Amino acid sequence: MFLFKRVHVLLGSLLLSFSFLQAGEDVVYKDGDTELQGYVAVPDKVEGKVPLVVIVHQWMGLTDYEKSRAEQLAKLGYVAFAVDIYGKGVRPANRAEAGKQAGSYKEDRALYRQRLNAGLTVALKQPNVDASRVVAIGYCFGGTGVIELARSGANIAGVVSFHGGLDSPVPADGGNIKCKVLACHGADDPFVKPEDLAAFEKEMRDHQVDWQLIKYGGAVHSFTQKMAGDDPSKGAAYNAQADERSWTHMLDFFKVAMGK
């Protein structure tokens, strides 16, 4: 009996381990001469064309975090493609390197949009993708990115920004937005200045964008990311309630934006 229980526990552990194995694959592509490495995850069974979700990474680059989100979405029936903004093999080792990488794209929004659209183009070429049902989601640096993708005039159904930078460097660019916009924001995020938030809202209103801004009480920056720790006093911390609620709001937004 003891042996049976031990075998059962071991098998359970193995099954648990296998459940976390990533079923997606890396995708190497280029933006001009720059080689990039994205990641795609697809549903187990695909019948006909299915919606596409493009994922834009946070400031540490494309990591297991974005890959796990891609796997979550694939299990829900989406083709999920995580883009690479920095370049193949360019993965910051610390906050200083991450700040330098992310800052260079925030200062050069034209290059950022170029990289975003390069990823979108490759994502649309994945098998079984329904090009009429495409949304992009992004975290922190990537949350800024999806709004820049929308401002570039990308022909997609919607974008979802999770704790992204919500500034408005060129308000006129809001006139290029063709899609719906959802910004999921920590109400106590110290890295988003009130004046930037006001400018973002004004840009959306001035250009009659179909937009939503949802604020989560008690949440600071990086509220969807467990690797941010659990100390809100640092300005960035995981918040399980805000994470769960924002994910639900995202899925509801998907239904409205692309009927899925």
3-state DSSP assignment of residue 183: strand
Q: Which of 10-24, 66-80, 110-124, 219-233 has the lowest mean pLDDT?
A: 10-24
What range defines the domain where residue 243 resides?
Answer: 24-258
From start to end of 43-127, where are the E strands?
50-56, 79-82
Quote the pTM value: 0.90
> From the centroid of its chain, how far is CA 12?
32
DSSP calls for 190-232? TTS-HHHHHHHHHHHHHTT--EEEEEETT--BTTT-GGG-S-G
Q: Give dist(CA 104, CA 98) in Å, integer.
A: 10
- pLDDT in the model for residue 165: 96
User: Does the structure show a pLDDT above 80 at 137?
Assistant: yes
Residue 23: pLDDT band (50, 70, 90) is low
- Residue 205's domain is classified under what CATH number? 3.40.50.1820
The dihedral region occupied by 47, where left means phi > 0, alpha psi between -120 and 50, and beta the remainder, is beta
Q: Structural domain tally of the chain?
A: 1
Whether residue 109 lies inside any domain: the answer is yes
Q: Give dist(CA 199, CA 166) in Å, integer.
A: 8
Q: Give dist(CA 157, CA 226) in Å, integer.
A: 29
Whether residue 17 lies inside any domain: the answer is no
List, for residues 235-247, the tens digit of each pLDDT value: 999 999 999 999 9
Residue 47: pLDDT band (50, 70, 90) is confident
Per-residue pLDDT, averaged over 89-106, amounts to: 96
Whether residue 5 lies inside any domain: the answer is no
Strand order in the sheet with 79-82: 25-31, 34-41, 79-82, 50-56, 129-139, 158-162, 180-186, 211-216
Q: Give dist(CA 31, CA 50) in Å, integer.
A: 26
Whether residue 100 lies inside any domain: the answer is yes
- pLDDT in the model for residue 5: 35
- Share above pLDDT 70 across residues of the chain, in percent, rounded to a whole number: 91
Whether residue 222 lies inside any domain: the answer is yes
Whether residue 15 lies inside any domain: the answer is no
- pLDDT in the model for residue 3: 38
Whether residue 68 lies inside any domain: the answer is yes
Whether residue 9 lies inside any domain: the answer is no
User: Does the structure show a pLDDT above 60 at 114?
Assistant: yes
Both tokens of 53, joined, read 């979700």
